């Protein structure tokens, strides 16, 4: 049977990030996607014009509907926006005993819009991170969660340790916002002390809308298919590398990545997507 996966995230009317990016990624990687909508955003490649969060009850009844019928092999969270949505999400993840949770702690969109209310950070740490197999902040998000400025590999490790102290099994600090012009390096740290770097050539493109959503969705899909965590991260990194290196050139701003590229060109362009693990 096809593995069943859930994304709990916001809608991006521009289709490059949020629940739309997640569902496309799940489809490309061969898993069945269910979805719980947390907010509607009026958004395009130029920015976020408006945010309409779902009512608590609407989030609850969506989670109950999914939980009563589907057998989830993995799930991810994206934009959760406020404290009550985080509390409701955590409550039903615990209720249904859902495992293999990827938490993408979405906070600020590329254009600067707040996708998580400032006061909701505490609920994210207290309610959701203890349930996570892996949490996937980008560098600014890791700085907010840890309270540590990331300037070098040492401060990145300290930030990762601090994030683990909130209870997740592991953390990946993604390197898309890193200063290195040659490489994009994602740092993985597990509670058991194992650390790894997933490194790829940095692609010079502005078509980067939704990279984090796509990466975390690919990770959840691979976990659902039974891949061990390290292999799942490797494939997710290759998936986003493929999506970034086959530009669609859609929209006038930060365009969407090409979710179809990994499946379409996976073999013939294999060497382009090579990810080094160290
Ligand atoms: N220009 C780029 N070239 C190659 N990989 C990138 C680039 N930008 C981001 N990535 C990768 O995309 C994934 C998402 O990272 P990041 O952009 O930091 O997340 P977010 O979208 O949450 O800000 C990571 O695996 C990162 O290494
Ligand atoms: C509805 C919605 N959810 C999440 C995001 C942020 O996505 P991300 O992958 O971090 O990409 P950028 O915003 O950085 O391009 C979003 N924009 N909208």
User: What is the 3 state secondary structure string of the chain?
Assistant: CCCEEEEEEEEECCCCCHHHHHHHHHHHCCCEEEEEEEEEEEEECCEEEEEEECCHHHHHHHHHHHHHHCCEEEEEECCCECHHHHHHHHHHHHHCCCCCEEECCCCECCCCCECECHHHHHHHHHHHHHHCCEECCCHHHHHHHHCCCCCCHHHHHHHHHHHHCCCCCEEEECCCCCCCCCEEEEEEEECCCCEEEEEEECCCCCCCECHHHHHHHHHHHHHHCCCCHHHHHHHHHHHHHHHHHCCCCCCCCCCECCCCHHHHHCCCCHHHHCCEEC
Q: For the chain, what are the domain ranges?
A: 4-277
Instruction: Give tens-digit pLDDT for 118-129.
Output: 999 999 999 999
- The yes or no reply on domain 4-277 and CATH 3.40.1190.20 is yes
Tens-digit pLDDT profile for residues 211-242: 999 999 999 999 999 999 999 999 999 999 99
In the chain, which residues have pLDDT < 70?
266-273
Instruction: Assess whether the C-beta atom of 210 lies below 6 angstroms from ligand 2.
Output: yes
The predicted structure's pLDDT at residue 114 = 95
Q: Is 17 in the pocket of ligand 2 (CB under 6 A)?
A: yes
Ligand closest to 177 (CA) is 1
> What pLDDT shows up at residue 268?
62
Q: In a mutational test of the pocket of ligand 1, which residue from 109, 116, 188, 240 has the highest number of ligand atoms less than 8 Å from its CB?
A: 240
Q: What is the pLDDT of residue 139?
A: 97
The predicted-structure confidence for 91-112, as pLDDT tens digits, reads as follows: 999 999 999 999 999 999 988 8
Could you list the active site residues? Answer: 174, 208, 210-213
């Amino acid at each position: 049977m096809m593995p069943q996966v859930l994304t709990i995230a916001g809608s991006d009317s521009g289709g490059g990030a949020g629940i739309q990016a997640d569902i496309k990624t799940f489809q490309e990687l061969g898993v069945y996607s269910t979805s719980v909508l947390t907010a509607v955003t009026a958004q395009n490649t130029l920015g976020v014009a408006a945010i309409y969060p779902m009512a608590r009850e609407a989030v609850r009844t969506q989670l109950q509907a999914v939980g009563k019928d589907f057998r989830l092999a993995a799930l991810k969270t994206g934009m959760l926006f406020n404290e009550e949505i985080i509390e409701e999400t955590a409550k039903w993840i615990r209720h249904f005993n859902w495992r293999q949770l990827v938490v993408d702690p979405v906070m600020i969109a590329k254009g600067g819009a707040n996708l998580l209310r400032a006061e909701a950070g505490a609920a994210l740490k207290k309610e959701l991170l203890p349930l996570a197999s892996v949490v996937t902040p980008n560098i600014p998000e890791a700085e907010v969660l840890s309270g540590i400025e990331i300037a070098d590999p040492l401060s990145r490790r300290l930030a990762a340790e601090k994030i683990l102290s909130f209870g997740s099994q592991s953390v990946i600090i993604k390197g898309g916002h890193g200063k290195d012009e040659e490489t994009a390096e994602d740092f993985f740290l597990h509670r058991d002390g194992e650390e790894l770097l997933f490194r790829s050539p940095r692609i010079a493109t502005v078509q980067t809308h939704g990279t984090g959503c796509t990466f975390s969705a690919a990770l959840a899909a691979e976990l659902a298919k039974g891949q061990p965590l390290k292999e799942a991260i490797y494939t997710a990194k290759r998936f986003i590398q493929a999506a970034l290196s086959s530009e669609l050139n859609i929209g006038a701003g930060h365009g969407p990545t090409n979710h179809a590229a990994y499946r379409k060109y996976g073999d013939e362009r294999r060497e382009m997507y090579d990810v080094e693990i160290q």
